[in-house]
Amino acid sequence: MTSTAPDGGSARQQELLEAAYAWVLEHGWAGMSLRPLAEAIGSSPRVLLFLFGSKDGLVRALLARSRADQLAVLDDLRADGPAGLAVVGERIWAWLAGPGHRALLRLWLEAYTRSIGDPGDGPWAGFAARTVADWDTLLAHHQPPARRDAPEGVAERALLLAVLRGALLDLLATGDTARVDAAVAAHLVTL
């Protein structure tokens, strides 16, 4: 008899999902092949296909696992109550710029990019749009209610998200923390 994990998957499925997630955090999505992945996590391609239905099913499970980490960050940033966009932008940037989050953020970036190129119903489809919606919802939470739905408020959130995302791309590409921190700070004072 197979034991069941809290979310309905078997304990073995959850164990392999966590191991696969750790592998993908280290190696990224590019070139992910079932055979080397299965070998690295102590399984077999057949077991992974049985537990996740297909490679696409495994990718969807890994994307959901990655998104759970991202949503936990959003929940933490929402917990304190509305603080204004400048304050939450500073908190978000501090988290994004933290060296301990680079693997997750590289994984997010790769998934985001693949999602943009997957307009159909593949495993990546909709990931980028859901990410934008998640972050926009968080930023809206930190705006005054009267501004939240006004065109200016919507544009303000979109610009802050674009600045943070662009700064993250530059930071991941260059590692130039001082330059990128200064750019984000220059934008935050305008809010």
Domain map (residue ranges) of the chain: 1-53, 63-188
In order of 106, 153, 167, the CA distances from 149 in angstroms are 32, 6, 26
In order of 72, 101, 133, 151, the CA distances from 158 in angstroms are 21, 23, 10, 11
Instruction: Look at residue 21 in the predicted model and tell me its pLDDT.
Output: 92
Whether the CB-CB separation of 128 and 144 falls below 8 Å is answered with: no
Q: Which of 5-9, 25-29, 93-97, 140-144 has the least mean pLDDT?
A: 5-9
* pLDDT for 15 beyond 70: yes
Q: What is the band of 6 on the pLDDT scale with cuts at 50, 70, 90? A: very low
Predicted model pTM: 0.81
Instruction: Look at residue 80 in the predicted model and tell me its pLDDT.
Output: 74
Higher-confidence residue of 20 and 72: namely 20
Query: What mean pLDDT is predicted for residues 173-179?
Result: 95
Instruction: Look at residue 3 in the predicted model and tell me its pLDDT.
Output: 39
Tokens coding 178 = 């001082």
Instruction: Look at residue 5 in the predicted model and tell me its pLDDT.
Output: 43
What is the torsional sign of CA 51, 56, 61, 65? positive
Q: What are phi and psi of 4, to 5 degrees?
A: -110, 135
Q: What is the band of 52 on the pLDDT scale with cuts at 50, 70, 90? A: very high
Cα–Cα distance measured from residue 185 to residue 183, given in angstroms and rounded to the nearest whole number? 5
Instruction: Look at residue 150 in the predicted model and tell me its pLDDT.
Output: 97
Averaged pLDDT of the chain: 89
Q: What are phi and psi of 174, to 5 degrees?
A: -110, -25
Does the domain at residues 1-53 carry the CATH identifier 1.10.10?
Answer: yes
How far, in whole angstroms, is CA 115 from its chain's centroid? Answer: 12
Query: What mean pLDDT is predicted for residues 69-74?
Result: 83
Instruction: Look at residue 7 in the predicted model and tell me its pLDDT.
Output: 53
